[in-house]
């Protein structure tokens, strides 16, 4: 039988422990030691917990500055991703066919336009919105339907605290008419108890577009909407 010499083989754990303690004395954090040695954080804690905690490598102000810089970088990255997603989606649409524009306008009207009710039958196209792009799309839809400018009644609906003349000039530019073509604005009384967000120079109220002699067009729009509903149901 071979007798033991009394010496022990080097233990890998002992080597890791010694290296962990060395790194801790150099001011490394638990996570940094864990990453370098490839061991668990609990093992690092067990091996070095008797050693003093390293002094912070930066002041609280520097830590906050680094954190804010990291957040700013994250937000910038997220914003770039948003823009790229929107750009790609915009490019994927391309030019609309007349059919696509017609169906888009029908859905838009049914969402935002005035509808006839059983208790108040009013088969006429009347549309109100505060988004210039929505208004431009609606005007393109009316042009597709053969509605000429002389059949339109335009007026601004706006709070009394706003600049009515500036709002009319804004909407006149959007739809491509002279501001003198507008009917008298509908002015909303201001409620001092209401905290409004739609204020300032960017507030232009809503534009109301009424199409005269449009009962037939209204029925066509309503019928097409039900056709869209049935078509979507059949597709699923």
Q: Residues 108-133: what's their mean pLDDT?
A: 93
Rounded distance between C-alpha atoms, residue 47 and residue 51, angstroms: 9
Please tell me whether residues 110 and 216 are part of one structural domain.
yes
Please tell me whether residues 116 and 215 are part of one structural domain.
yes
Q: Which residues pair with 206 in a beta bridge?
A: 157
Q: Is position 81 within any domain?
A: no
Please tell me whether residues 208 and 114 are part of one structural domain.
yes
**Residues of the domain holding 208:** 98-235
> What are the pLDDT digits (tens) for 6-53?
555 556 688 999 999 999 898 888 888 999 999 999 999 999 999 988
Q: Could you give the percent of the chain with pLDDT greater than 90?
A: 67
Say what the pTM is.
Answer: 0.69
Q: Is position 76 within any domain?
A: no
Residue with tokens 């108890």: 193
Please tell me whether residues 39 and 106 are part of one structural domain.
no
Please tell me whether residues 110 and 206 are part of one structural domain.
yes
Please tell me whether residues 110 and 217 are part of one structural domain.
yes
Please tell me whether residues 36 and 136 are part of one structural domain.
no
Which tops the pLDDT comparison, 106 or 235? 106
Res 3: pLDDT: 52
B/e letters for 97-130, b = 16+ CB within 10 Å, e = fewer, are eeeebbbebbebbbeebbeeeeeeeeeebbbbbe
Q: Tokens for 229?
A: 């509903």
Q: Is position 32 within any domain?
A: yes
Query: How many structural domains are present in the chain?
Result: 2
Q: How far is CA 82 from CA 7, 164, 195, in A?
A: 65, 35, 30
Please tell me whether residues 41 and 127 are part of one structural domain.
no
Q: Is position 189 within any domain?
A: yes
Q: Is position 5 within any domain?
A: no
> What are the pLDDT digits (tens) for 152-196?
999 999 998 889 999 999 999 999 999 999 999 999 887 666 555
Q: Is position 132 within any domain?
A: yes
Please tell me whether residues 205 and 124 are part of one structural domain.
yes
> Does residue 229 surpass a pLDDT of 70?
yes
Please tell me whether residues 32 and 145 are part of one structural domain.
no
> What are the pLDDT digits (tens) for 68-78?
998 999 999 99
Q: Is position 60 within any domain?
A: no
Q: Is position 7 within any domain?
A: no
């Amino acid at each position: 039988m071979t007798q033991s010499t009394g010496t022990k083989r080097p233990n890998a754990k002992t080597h890791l422990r010694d290296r962990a303690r060395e790194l801790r004395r150099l001011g490394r954090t638990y996570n940094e030691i864990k990453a370098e040695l490839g061991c668990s954080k609990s093992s690092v804690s067990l091996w070095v917990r008797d050693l003093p905690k390293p002094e912070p490598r930066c002041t609280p102000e520097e830590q906050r500055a680094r954190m804010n810089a990291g957040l700013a970088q994250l937000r910038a990255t997220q914003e770039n991703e948003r823009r790229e997603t929107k750009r790609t989606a915009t490019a994927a649409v391309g030019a609309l066919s007349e059919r696509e524009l017609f169906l888009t306008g029908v859905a838009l009207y049914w969402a935002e336009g005035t509808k006839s009710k059983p208790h108040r039958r009013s088969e006429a196209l009347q549309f109100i919105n505060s988004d210039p792009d929505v208004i431009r799309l609606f005007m393109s839809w009316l042009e597709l339907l053969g509605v000429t400018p002389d059949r339109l009644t335009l007026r601004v609906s706006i709070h009394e605290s706003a600049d009515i003349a500036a709002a009319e000039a804004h909407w006149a530019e959007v739809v491509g008419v002279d501001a003198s073509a507008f009917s008298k604005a509908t002015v909303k009384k201001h409620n001092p108890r209401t905290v409004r967000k739609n204020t300032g120079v960017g507030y232009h109220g809503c534009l109301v577009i009424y199409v005269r002699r449009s009962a037939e067009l209204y029925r066509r729009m309503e019928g097409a909407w039900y056709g869209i509903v049935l078509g979507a149901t059949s597709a699923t």
